[in-house]
Amino acid sequence: MVFFKPLTAEDAKQYRALRLEAMTNNPEAYASDLKTEQNRTMDQIREHLSDPDVLTVGGFDGERLIAIASLHRETLPKMAHRATLTSVYVAPEYRGQRISRKIIEFMIDDVKRSGVTKLYLFVVTTNEHAIHAYKKFGFKIYGEDHDAMKEDDGFVDEYLMVKYI
């Protein structure tokens, strides 16, 4: 049975390992890259997991971290109702079990208490599976960012998506 909880600095080692797996398996889905993530120190990772404006949630199967996602809350008072979903990843052998949906639902329940009513995300336009899943969850495309990220073989476009909660 998979359970979810906010990650803390104590989870840094498992988080780093799963983040590196994500960068290896799906590099096109992330703004960061494997080399950058490999160069992040454990202190930097612990600092990220301790940031009060970032909610990073992990999905666990027993002791094993098998899914991660982060929500970055806006800090300016006029923007405090907004947050951006980033870095969603589920280990391949756990895909198809609605774990990404459950982790996002967990995050929404958490941030609603802090006044967040609007979630944003950015997804590569060729990632049809993720786009379909986000639409089923209530996200809507509101724009397209051409040449959003530069990959080794050229630029990729992203859809800008939003969900009101």
Task: Assign residue 16 the CATH number of its domain.
Answer: 3.40.630.30
Higher pLDDT, 111 or 72: 72
Distance between CA atoms of residues 126 and 130, nearest Å: 9
Q: pLDDT tens across 76-135, in order?
A: 999 999 999 999 999 999 999 999 999 999 999 988 888 999 999 999 999 998 999 999
Local structure of 75: helix, strand or coil: coil
pTM strictly above 0.85: yes
Mean pLDDT computed over 11-26? 95
Give the count of domains, the chain: 1
Q: Domain range holding 18?
A: 2-164
